[in-house]
Amino acid sequence: MIEDVSTYSRRGIHGHVVNELGLQITRGVFAPGEVIDPNELLQTFGVSRTVIREALKVLSTKGLVDARPKRGTFITERSRWQLLDGDVMRWRSEGSPDLLLLVELGEVRQAIEPMAARMAALRRDDVQLSAMGAALQDMDDWDGVRHETIVAADLAFHSGLLKAAGNELLEQFEVILEPALQARDFLTHSHNPDRSFFQRHKAVFDAIENRDPDRAQTAMQDMMTAAVSDAELALQQTVAGTEFLRNRQSALGQVAASSNVIG
Ligand SMILES: [Zn+2]
């Protein structure tokens, strides 16, 4: 997969400890307020005290732990977590993704990408357009087998679009794309897009190529609506997903219908 330079290295002992603890905290193995015993960690990981201390320091910069004299190091309230941090995002999305993250990422993309498409239609240069065109070509050429290829092409298309929007803050929202696309891939199992998947991306691309902001925005809005709808359908096929949706107002404007459960 694409190497994200903003995330913490998984290589080396230090990276391994940071990664394991980050995963456990974000997956709720520890409860907020729970005190972490460094001696226990020394035994669990079989590493030096320095390694544990350094790892906890990294986790505290991500808002996951804090330390007080006498109380020691403890897990912070979720509201203090740096949710846009690349590692925190990755810990929540890897493997079996956190359902709340999955749904919230879809909503954020709905809020951001249609306007980004509009801006890209107005501002894109030829180099940016051809980068998006290459990603589109990869989708068109897809052999229908290796799904990593389609996820990578999809990621390249959307991050290319954020670049073409010509706003450096928006460009950094790339951090939400990879977890969003990977989580969707997991959810829809092997993510087997039909031809409409390519057509929706082509519609956005054509509008940006023709410098038509209204059409770019509408085409992207349609794509995002389809994505949220697909995600909700996939969620409704699991017990946990159905339960989750029952308690949440859909971003599409309806309360998700739990009567649509398939299988
Ligand atoms: Zn896409």
| pLDDT-based confidence at residue 2 (cuts at 50, 70, 90) | very low
Q: How far apart (Å, rounded) are the C-alpha atoms in residues 89 and 98?
A: 10
Report how far ligand 1's centroid is from the alpha carbon of 224 (Å): 8
pLDDT value, residue 1: 41
150, 255: one domain:
yes
Q: Is residue 4 part of a domain?
A: no
Report how far ligand 1's centroid is from the alpha carbon of 151 (Å): 8
Torsion of CA 20, 21, 26, 29, to 10 degrees: 100
73, 107: one domain:
no
Q: Is residue 1 part of a domain?
A: no
Q: Which of 45-49, 178-182, 193-197, 257-261 has maximum average pLDDT?
A: 45-49
CATH of residue 245: 1.20.120.530
Model-wide pTM > 0.85: no
248, 121: one domain:
yes
Domain count, the chain: 2
Instruction: Tell which of 48, 80, 112 closes a domain.
Output: 80
190, 149: one domain:
yes
130, 252: one domain:
yes
More confident residue, 185 or 208: 208
Instruction: Tell which of 80, 108, 140 closes a domain.
Output: 80
Q: How far is CA 189 from CA 39, 147, 231, in A?
A: 40, 10, 11
pLDDT value, residue 4: 46
pLDDT exceeds cutoff 50 at 86: yes
Question: What is the percentage of the chain residues whose pLDDT exceeds 70?
Answer: 89
Report how far ligand 1's centroid is from the alpha carbon of 133 (Å): 13
**Containing domain of residue 52, as a range?**
12-80
Report how far ligand 1's centroid is from the alpha carbon of 13 (Å): 36
Q: How far is CA 176 from CA 35, 149, 154, 156, 172, in A?
A: 30, 19, 13, 13, 9
pLDDT value, residue 7: 62
Q: How far apart (Å, rounded) are the C-alpha atoms in residues 132 and 126?
A: 10
Report how far ligand 1's centroid is from the alpha carbon of 155 (Å): 7
Report how far ligand 1's centroid is from the alpha carbon of 7 (Å): 23
More confident residue, 225 or 230: 225
Q: Is residue 5 part of a domain?
A: no
DSSP 167-209: -HHHHTTHHHHHHHHHHHHHHTTS----HHHHHHHHHHHHHHH
CA-wise closest residue to 30 among 78, 70, 69: 78
Bin 63: left if φ > 0, else alpha if -120 < ψ < 50, else beta: left
Q: Which helix (H) or strand (E) holds 241?
A: helix 239-246
Neighbours of 159 (CB within 10 A): 21
Positive or negative torsion for Cα 12, 15, 21, 26: negative
Instruction: Tell which of 35, 56, 80 closes a domain.
Output: 80
Q: Is residue 7 part of a domain?
A: no
CB-count burial class (<10 Å; 0-12, 13-18, 19+) for 160: buried
23, 62: one domain:
yes
pLDDT exceeds cutoff 50 at 257: no
Report how far ligand 1's centroid is from the alpha carbon of 174 (Å): 13
